[in-house]
Structure 1
Amino acid sequence: MNSSANKEKIGLGIDLGTANLLVYQDKKGIIFNEPSVIAFDRESGKVVAAGIDAHRMLGKVHSKIAVIKPLRSGVISDMRAAKSLLTYVLSKIDNLSAKAMETSTCVICCPSEVTKIERDVMIDLASKMSITDAFIEEEIKAGALGAGIDIFKSKGAMIVDIGGG
């Protein structure tokens, strides 16, 4: 019998934004909200810091450390850095083992203007992180749903997403 079938699926929401990375987990709410920045040791490739700790290093490190913002204008510009950032952050969150990720349902938010190719890159990123049940949703639609707006009614509503990029 498959042991993962006995485990409850974890519902995740990931907003990999130009400015911040947010991770939402069902029944827990937002469990991570820090800058979308990662720092690597250039020689070993090892992650030195991520999030706020990496952001504090911007412009203050020696040549052996690379501090990278993996998104530009809401789009992944450095796939390796984006994958490393997500993998590192998710590995630091309690109860999100690699096995838990395999049984997770994940919604990844993206700007409305991203292309199909860019959406495919995000799905590929989720796949590389062992997330088999991943969906891409527009940030503005996810924001409306999060605000309790019924997006299927023919009633006007205004959502403003100023973003960080």
Structure 2
Amino acid sequence: MTKQTTTKGIDSQTAISFWHQNEHRARLTALGIAVVIAALALPIMLSEYSDGLAAVSYLLGTGIGVMLIIAPHLGRTKHKHRRVLISTSARQLAQQEFNAYHKAHAIGMIFGIWMCIASIAPAVMLNDSLGAASFMIFVAIGVFFLVYVNLISGAYRRLTKEHARLN
């Protein structure tokens, strides 16, 4: 059983720093996932010309995507299970930021879902490798927005509670 300790407070300055770090992590993670999905478009397009080039492009794209996903998590070995007390002022600031982000979150969600649904159009209209590749690109863009806005929203929401795990 892991012992959870509670340490004294996160203030508003620390909360702002946490949100900046989380924004960077969210951007890289969402981009990495999108690159892994978009990497599927390259072999679809290149398979007509060279199977070897298609395979290499897929492996390269997937490798870059995976690097983007894990890069923000490298070197973070500190206190994964430590819960911290969030000061009242930081919780109030977090609630304001969370409420202010609501509109951007809704727009990002709508756009991400719309891109995933719209991805069907090029696949149906073009009915060839360009249509299939376009499908993957549209899905990658949609997934980027869905992952990004949810990670940002979660960071604001996390600090609205009295105690939080900051890992």
State TM-score, norm by structure 1: 0.25
Higher relative contact order (CA 8 A, sep 6+): 2
Structure (1 or 2) with the greater strand fraction: 1
Structure (1 or 2) with the greater helix fraction: 2
State TM-score, norm by structure 2: 0.24
Larger radius of gyration: 2
